[in-house]
Amino acid sequence: MKPFSQEVTKLWNEWEIRVMVLLSLFLQIILVIFGSRRKYTRNIQIFLVVWLAYLTADWVATVALGNLARNQVDHDSMSFQSNNKLQALWAPFLLLHLGGPDTITAYSLEDNELWLRHFLGLVIQVLLAIYVMIRSWNNNTILRFIAVPIFITGIVKYGERSLVLWFSSAQQLKNSLRSSHDTGPDFGEVMEHGEPKVVVSDDGQDKSKQKIDHIESDDEQDKSKQKINHIKSGDGQDRSTQKIDHYLVVADLLFKRFRCLFADLILDHYERKESYSLIHEKSAKEAFKLVAIELGFMYDVLYTKASTIYSGFGIFLRCFYFFSHVSVSVIFLIIVFIMEKHAYSLIDISITCSLLVGAIFLEIYAFIILLFSDWTKLWLCTHNLISNDTPYDLHDRKKRWSGSVGQYNLFSFCLQDISTKTAGVQKLIGVKETIEKYQYLTWDDVEIDLRESIFRQLVEKAKRIEGDLFNIKLCKELLAQRGDNVLHIYGLDALNWSTIEVEFDHSLLLWHIATDLCYYDDYQKRGFIIKEVSQLCSTSKCVSDYMLYLLVVCPIMLPKGIGEIRYRETCAEAMKFFKRKRFGTFSEISKACESLLQVKTDDSLEKIKGGRSLSLLFYGCRLANQLQKLESNLGWSEERKWKMISDVWIEMLTYAASHCGWRPHGQQLMNGGELLTHELNVGI
C-alpha cells in the first residue's frame, strides 16, 4: 500500500524542485536581512531564525541541485520540453545561494574551521551544475545566452565564501597577523652602526629614542598611525599637530592592536603606550564607544565577508555581480517574451523571474549595508571625503552591540524553582538543566554609572604602571587582583578569606550571596533614599548578577574550576532552607534574606559541614554579616560600604576579562557582545 495517492505523488514530483528553489531564495533573503543583526541584539527570535536559516540554506540548495541533476535522466521525455528545459537555468542560481550573503558567512567560529569542507562542497556542486547544464545545452537557446554569466558569478561567489572562511580560521588568522606584526628595529643593524648618539633638543629632551623609532618606521611604518597623524582638514591644512582625531580612525588603530591578541601575540612597548594614550585620555562614554566600533570590526572579520568586501577587488566583484544579474534579467525578458513566447512553462518563467529579481535585491541590500557601514565611513574619513571636525560624534545613535548584560540571581532562581510545578516533568525528560539556564535569565542595560565605575578603576590601575608599561611583572600583579587589592585599600585584609585565598568561582559565589543579603537587608531597613547609595547598590547588584550569569550560562568565559558544581550544591542547600522556612515565592525574597542573615555562622560552621558539601550558602551569610557590621564596628557610612562592594565586583570583572581566552570573547560577539569583552579592550 502506497502512503500517498498517485495524484499527490505526481503533484509533488512536479513541484518538488520549484518549492526547494523558492525556499532557497527565501532563506537567502532572511540571512541577508537578519544575518548581521545578532551583532547588536539579544533578541532570541532573531537568533533562532538566523540559526535555522543558516543550517537549512546550504542543505536546501544542495538537495535542489541534486534533484535537478536527477531530472536530467528524463531528457528525452515530452515533459522535458515544457518544464525541465527552463529549470536547468536554476542550477547556476543555486550556486549563487551556496555562496551566501555578505552579511553572514559563519554562524559560529567553528564554521570558519570547516573551510576545507566548504571548498570540497564547492568542487562537487560546481561539477554537478556543469552536468545539469551540459545535459540541457542542446536546443536550449535561453541557456546558451544567459546561463554562462550566472554560472561564472555563482562560482566566484561560492569561491569567495570559501576564501573568507579560510581567512577567518584561527590558524590562518594567526599566520596573517604574525607575518604582518611589527618586530621592531633590527638590533644587529643598529649595533653595526654603533649605539645611537644622545641628541639633546633645545628643550633638553633626550632624542636618542627618536632615532631608534625612526629606524623602526623605515622598516614598516604603521599605516593606521599615519591615518591619525596626517588627517587633513577641509581647507587642506595639516592637522597632524592637533590632538583631535576622528573617532573611527582611532577605533581602527585600536582594532589593529586588538586583533594581534587573537594571534596570541603581545603588544610591544610602543603599541601599549600608544593604545594607553588613545583610550585613557578619553571619557568613559568615548572609550566604550571606541571599543564598540573596534569590536564591530572584529565581528565583521570573523563572521562576514569583510575581509574581501572592503577592498578594491571586493568592490569590483560587487559591481560585477550586480551588472551580471541586471544584464541577464534584460536578456531573459527579451528572449522569453519576444523571441520564444510559448516555449516555456509560465510557472517556470515566474520562478526564474523571482530568482533574477531576488538576486538583484540581495546585491542592492548588501550594497546599502556596505554604504552605511563603519568601514565605508572610515575610508571616506581617511581620504578626506568627510569632515573630521567632530572627533567623537556622540550624537551617532548607530547601535554596534547589544549594550545589555545577562542577569542571573541565585536566590531568585531557588524561590521560583520551588514554586515551579513542572520541575519534575522537566527532570524526567532530561531538559530541566537547559530550561533552568534560560527560564530565569533576564537582561539589563549597561548604565553609564557602571561604565564610569569600570573606566575609573581601570584608569587608576593604569596609572600605577604609566611610567613603566614594559614592567611585565607589575602588569601580571595588577591582572591577578580579584578583589583583594580593593580590600587592602579599604583596610579589610581580614576578608581575604573570601577572595584571594579561595578559587575564583568560590569567591564569586560568596560575594554574590553576600551582596544579595546586604542589598535586601539595607533596602528593607532604609529603602536607599540617598541617590549615591542607590547607584552604588544598583551597580553592585548588576555586576553580581552578571557574573553569576557567566558562571551558569557562559562558564567558558571564566577561569576553569568547579564553579558549576558549587553553584548547584549551593542552590540545593538554599532550596532546602527555604522549604523548611516555608518560603516559596519570589515576592518573599526580602524575608528569606532576612532569615538567612539571622543564621549563626561562627567557627562551628566548619565542624558541622566538614568536607561533605561544596555548598557556600552559609559562608556567604558569614561574609554578609561581616560586611553589615562595618557600619557599627568601624563607623563606616552606608555609601562607603557599597562603594567598597562595587569596587570589589569591578575588580573581579576585570580579572575575569583578562583571564578569558580570545576564542570565548570572539564567540560571544555573535550573541550581541559581552560587557566582559568590552572591559578587556577598554583596559588594553
Three-state secondary structure string covering 358-381: HHHHHHHHHHHHHHCCHHHHHHHH
Residues 302/663, Cβ–Cβ less than 8 Å: no
Burial of 306 (0-12, 13-18, 19+ CB in 10 A): buried
* Residue 612: Cβ within 10 Å count: 7
**pLDDT value for 230:** 44
CA pair distance 433, 439, nearest whole angstrom: 10
Residues 35/365, Cβ–Cβ less than 8 Å: no
Distance of CA 159 to the CA centre of its chain: 25
CA pair distance 408, 553, nearest whole angstrom: 9
- Name the CA radius of gyration of the chain, rounded: 31
Q: Which of 485, 470, 453 is nearest to 655 (CA)?
A: 485
Instruction: Tell me the helix, strand and coil percentages in the chain, rounded to 5.
Output: 70, 0, 25
**pLDDT value for 188:** 61
Q: What are phi and psi of 445, to 5 degrees?
A: -70, 150
Q: Is 200 helix (H, G, I), strand (E, B) or coil?
A: strand
Give the long-range contacts of residues 224-231, CB within 8 A, separation 24 or more: 224/249, 224/252, 224/253, 224/256, 225/253, 225/274, 227/252, 227/253, 227/382, 228/253, 231/381, 231/382, 231/384, 231/388
Buried b (16+ CB within 10 A) or exposed e, 561-596: bebeebbebbbebbbebbeeeebeebebbeebbeeb
Residues of the chain with pLDDT under 50: 1, 76-82, 196-244, 394
Per the structure block, which three cell numbers stand in for 634? 568601624
Query: Would the CA dihedral through 661, 666, 671, 676 be positive or negative?
Result: positive
Residues 154/92, Cβ–Cβ less than 8 Å: yes
- C-alpha to C-alpha distances, 467 to 276, 335, 464, 612, nearest whole angstrom: 11, 75, 8, 50
Q: Write the CB contacts of 609 (distance below 8 Å, at least 6 apart in sequence).
A: 615, 618
**Tens digits of per-residue pLDDT, 192-210?**
665 544 444 444 444 433 3
Q: Which of 567, 592, 566, 598 is nearest to 580 (CA)?
A: 592
Q: Which of 143, 135, 90 is nearest to 335 (CA)?
A: 143
Q: Rounded to 5 degrees, what angle do the CA atoms 680, 683, 684 make?
A: 90
Residues 181/265, Cβ–Cβ less than 8 Å: yes
Query: Would the CA dihedral through 635, 638, 639, 643 be positive or negative?
Result: positive
**pLDDT value for 81:** 47
Q: Write the CB contacts of 44 (distance below 8 Å, at least 6 apart in sequence).
A: none
CA pair distance 365, 557, nearest whole angstrom: 35
Q: Where are the alpha helices (DSSP H) in 240-343?
A: 247-258, 269-280, 284-303, 306-309, 312-334
Q: Which of 269, 264, 231, 261 is nearest to 247 (CA)?
A: 231
Q: Rounded to 5 degrees, what angle do the CA atoms 476, 478, 481 make?
A: 110
Q: Rounded to 5 degrees, what angle do the CA atoms 126, 131, 132 make?
A: 100
CA pair distance 549, 557, nearest whole angstrom: 11
* Residue 329: Cβ within 10 Å count: 18
CA pair distance 585, 656, nearest whole angstrom: 33
Per the structure block, which three cell numbers stand in for 581? 522556612
Domain range annotation of the chain? 6-168+311-372, 463-660
**pLDDT value for 27:** 97
CA pair distance 287, 655, nearest whole angstrom: 19
**pLDDT value for 232:** 39
Q: Where are the alpha helices (DSSP H) in 527-674?
A: 531-553, 563-580, 589-597, 604-609, 617-633, 638-658, 662-668
Buried b (16+ CB within 10 A) or exposed e, 644-674: bbbbbbbbbbbbbbbbbebebbbbbbbbbbb
CA pair distance 237, 142, nearest whole angstrom: 58
**pLDDT value for 677:** 93
CA pair distance 533, 554, nearest whole angstrom: 30
Q: Which of 390, 401, 398, 403 is nearest to 369 (CA)?
A: 398
Residues 682/286, Cβ–Cβ less than 8 Å: no
Q: Which of 15, 223, 39, 6 is nearest to 674 (CA)?
A: 39
Residues 331/146, Cβ–Cβ less than 8 Å: yes
Residues 281/256, Cβ–Cβ less than 8 Å: no
**Tens digits of per-residue pLDDT, 133-161?**
888 777 666 666 788 899 999 999 999 99
Q: Which of 266, 265, 263, 258 is nearest to 299 (CA)?
A: 258
Residues 314/51, Cβ–Cβ less than 8 Å: no
Q: What is the pTM of this model?
A: 0.87
CA pair distance 287, 457, nearest whole angstrom: 13
CA pair distance 399, 405, nearest whole angstrom: 15
CA pair distance 431, 451, nearest whole angstrom: 36
**pLDDT value for 179:** 60
